[in-house]
């Protein structure tokens, strides 16, 4: 019996030492996960106390082992939570960076488009200042001749939009008259006399009508293409 008790005490002491080592390791893990020095000290104190477990009866060793495993599981859970938090923070930073890049690209695109529109408007304005008298005056003009004049006055990037409006308004007939309203010319000015601001020969000179029409579209809508967008939405301009 004495010999048996010695064996049991030695076995318990060995387990206690092993448990103390495990507790110390767990304490270290918890300390690293939480950044707390106090927890490391607590773990060391627990390990020191564990060296006295040799006096615990053999039947209670399972309880000690269960407590040790539970503490290890808690430490692992804390470490997992810390890792998950770091991953979430990294993902949030990445998403914020991508959003910032997308916003910057959109702003740069909008700025570029605004600059292009401003340049087109300036070009249209410069072209519109060309005097209609620089074109030879004829007694009559064919559609092809009128379109050729328009190409020399309207900026190339705006010509198709200008042409779309004129085609719908007068089919390029510079003497077209609306019998109901009295609108006149290529762009169907109403009242027709408004075109006199571009030249006294507005009734017979398509160049004068084109100059007036281009100025009108630029001033009221920003450009012929903006005027065409309005026309498509409303059926008039």
Could you tell me if 66 and 168 lie in one domain?
no
Query: Which of 128, 148, 171 marks a domain boundary?
Result: 128
Enclosing domain of residue 50: 1-128
Lowest mean pLDDT among 56-65, 97-106, 108-117, 174-183: 56-65
Could you tell me if 164 and 211 lie in one domain?
yes
Query: Which of 86, 105, 128 marks a domain boundary?
Result: 128
* pLDDT single digits (tens) 135-166: 778 889 999 999 999 999 999 999 999 999 99
Could you tell me if 65 and 175 lie in one domain?
no
* pLDDT single digits (tens) 158-216: 999 999 999 999 999 999 999 999 999 999 999 999 999 999 999 999 999 999 999 99
Q: Does the predicted model carry a pTM greater than 0.75?
A: no
Which of 72, 78, 73 shows the shortest CA–CA distance to 32?
78
Please classify residue 97 by burial: count the beta carbons closer than 10 Å to its beta carbon, then call 0-12 exposed, 13-18 middle and 19+ buried.
exposed
- For 35-138, where are the alpha helices, taking DSSP H only? 37-50, 61-128
CATH number, residue 154: 1.10.530
Could you tell me if 33 and 123 lie in one domain?
yes
Could you tell me if 22 and 124 lie in one domain?
yes
Could you tell me if 83 and 192 lie in one domain?
no
Cis-peptide, bond into residue 191, ω within 30° of zero = yes
- Which residues lie across from 189 on neighbouring strands? 184
Q: With contact defined as beta carbons under 8 Å apart, do 195 and 186 qualify?
A: no
Q: In angstroms, rounded to a whole number, what is the distance separating the alpha carbons of residues 200 and 25?
A: 101
């Amino acid at each position: 019996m004495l010999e048996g008790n010695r064996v049991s005490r030695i076995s318990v002491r060995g387990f206690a030492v092993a448990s103390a080592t495990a507790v110390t390791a767990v304490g270290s893990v918890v300390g690293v996960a939480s950044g707390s020095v106090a927890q490391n000290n607590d773990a060391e104190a627990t390990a020191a106390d564990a060296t006295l477990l040799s006096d615990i009866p053999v039947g209670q060793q399972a309880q000690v082992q269960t407590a040790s495993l539970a503490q290890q599981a808690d430490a692992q859970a804390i470490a997992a939570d810390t890792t998950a938090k770091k991953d979430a923070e990294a993902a949030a930073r990445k998403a914020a960076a991508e959003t910032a890049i997308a916003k910057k690209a959109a702003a740069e695109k909008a700025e570029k488009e605004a600059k292009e529109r401003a340049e087109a408007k300036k070009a249209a304005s410069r072209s519109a200042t060309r005097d209609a008298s620089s074109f030879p005056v004829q007694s009559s003009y064919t559609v092809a001749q009128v379109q050729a004049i328009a190409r020399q006055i309207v900026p190339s990037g705006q010509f198709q939009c200008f042409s779309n409006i004129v085609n719908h308004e007068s089919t390029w007939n510079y003497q077209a008259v609306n019998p109901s309203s009295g609108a006149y010319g290529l762009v169907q000015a109403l009242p027709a006399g408004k075109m006199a601001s571009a030249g006294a020969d507005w009734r017979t000179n398509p160049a004068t009508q084109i100059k007036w029409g281009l100025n009108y579209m630029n001033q009221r809508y920003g450009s012929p293409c903006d005027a065409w967008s309005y026309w498509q939405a409303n059926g008039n301009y």
